[in-house]
Amino acid sequence: MDRIRIVGGNALNGIIPISGAKNAALPLMIASLLTSDTLTLENVPHLADVEGLIRILGNHGVDIAVNGRREHQDGSYSRTVHFTCRTVADTTAPYELVSKMRASFWVIGPLLAREGQARVSLPGGCAIGTRPVDLFIEGLTALGAEMEIDGGYINAKAPKGGLIGARYTFPKVSVGATHVMLMAASLARGTTVIGNAAREPEVVDLANCLIAMGAKISGAGTSTITIEGVPSLSGARHRVLPDRIETGTYAMAVAMTGGDVTLAGTELGLLDTAIEAIRRAGAEVSAVEGGIRVIGHGDAIRPVDIVTEPFPGFPTDLQAQFMGLMTRANGVSHVTETIFENRFMHVQELARLGAKITLSGQTARIEGVSRLRGAPVMATDLRASVSLVIAGLAAEGETMVSRVYHLDRGFERLEEKLTRCGAIVERISD
């Protein structure tokens, strides 16, 4: 099993290219099930989750063609992938595939809308909370679907003639359930109005792609989205938006280690709240041509309190990384997690590096320390794993991060991007 070795103490300087967003690419790929034409996606990142979903879509009959790698001077590359589902080969998404990645559960929406039926295993993914599928079931039921849980699977069936538009308000904001409702309602008869919808940029990106495919959607990016169902969707060409979580992660790494880095191919507007928190912590962050410039000051980190919230609030997917940054702050900070109940599993691993963190319910109190020291640590989930990398970059000596397959799910070529900016980071394959 691979590990990542980090020797801390080096400031980061240079350019880090930001990849296409995993959290946008996955629902966009799933949208290919809605049409018999070809959906072409540009800027698709090369990640374990993307490759896993490619296998799942292949099981449903999606033909996938990947353009060759195109190298650039900055070392980045993006892929263009063509998805064609002439005929849905299978409306069952089996446990052995879905259990590995929660987002694969989202195929239930397009399959139900296009084929009138779906049998999808209950999902897996990072062990950061229960993340129930109740909202998916309730939303699709509002569109007229019959939903039944049997033997670890959800059996879904649309009424004769297809799904029917309806008004539905989520009792709790859910990005995944909003994705599914957007896709399913695009082919429903009549008008669907989704209340308390997720407002994340990835939801807007999916809506824009569906509109390019012929869907009639308005209000994406607000809490109320209206979808006028159409009989069919066509193919389209769409570029995946930049990964705001990767953007925030590297910005925090620069803030913690010091240095001057340009994050290329991304934009400030994708994560205003997180950028503001990074600025309050003492880093300089500004928009430049083609990206964002971050200047960190290392030992001059200021304590900042944050609370995770749905967009446009502070992203839960950046909570672990920000906690890593706060371990070196000059004072006490607090991080409150309101989205996932088990997303503090990285605390004990940060403590191995010398961090002083105490937990009280869903709030962590972080007392900044003057230095961290390298140690062996273990990744527990995707975002927690990269928080350990950030801390390791600022720690004295060697940090060895194990179970890095979590990292490979969401960060493209992390070691290479950091090494190009002066970090000492290497992957060790046992």
Q: How far apart are CA 35 and CA 57, in angstroms?
A: 13
Please indicate if the annotation marks 7 as binding a ligand.
no
Please indicate if the annotation marks 208 as binding a ligand.
no
User: What pLDDT sits at residue 132?
Assistant: 66
Looking at the chain, the whole-number percentage of residues with pLDDT higher than 90 is 83
Please indicate if the annotation marks 216 as binding a ligand.
no
Does 282 have pLDDT greater than 80? yes
What is the pLDDT averaged over residues 349-361? Answer: 96
* H helices, E strands: number in the chain: 14, 24
Unique residue bearing structure tokens 């009792």: 171
pTM of the model: 0.94
Does 299 have pLDDT greater than 90? no
**Alpha-carbon distance values, 113 to 38, 145, 173 (Å):** 18, 10, 22
Q: Give the rounded distance of the alpha carbon of 242 from its chain centre.
A: 11
Q: Which residues contact 399 (CB under 8 A, 6 or more apart)?
A: 5, 6, 7, 8, 353, 374, 375, 376, 377, 388, 391, 392
Does 158 have pLDDT greater than 70? yes
User: What pLDDT sits at residue 381?
Assistant: 79
pLDDT band at 69 (very low <50, low <70, confident <90, very high): low
DSSP notation for 270-314? G-HHHHHHHHHTT-EEEEETTEEEEEE-GGGPPP--EEB-STTSB
**Residues annotated catalytic, as ranges:** 126
pLDDT in tens, 367-422: 999 999 999 999 887 777 899 999 999 999 999 999 888 888 889 999 999 999 99
How many of the other CB atoms lie within 10 Å of CB of 7? 17
Please indicate if the annotation marks 133 as binding a ligand.
yes
pLDDT band at 316 (very low <50, low <70, confident <90, very high): very high
Please indicate if the annotation marks 132 as binding a ligand.
yes
DSSP 8-state secondary structure symbol assigned to residue 67? P
What sign does the CA torsion over 382, 388, 394, 397 have? negative
What is the residue-averaged pLDDT of the chain? Answer: 93
User: What pLDDT sits at residue 103?
Assistant: 85
Q: For the chain, where do the domains classified as CATH 3.65.10.10 start and end?
A: 3-18+242-428, 22-239
Please indicate if the annotation marks 131 as binding a ligand.
yes
DSSP 8-state secondary structure symbol assigned to residue 381? S
Task: Give the fold, CATH level 3, of 3-18+242-428.
Answer: UDP-n-acetylglucosamine1-carboxyvinyl-transferase; Chain (3.65.10)
pLDDT band at 130 (very low <50, low <70, confident <90, very high): very low
Task: Give the fold, CATH level 3, of 22-239.
Answer: UDP-n-acetylglucosamine1-carboxyvinyl-transferase; Chain (3.65.10)
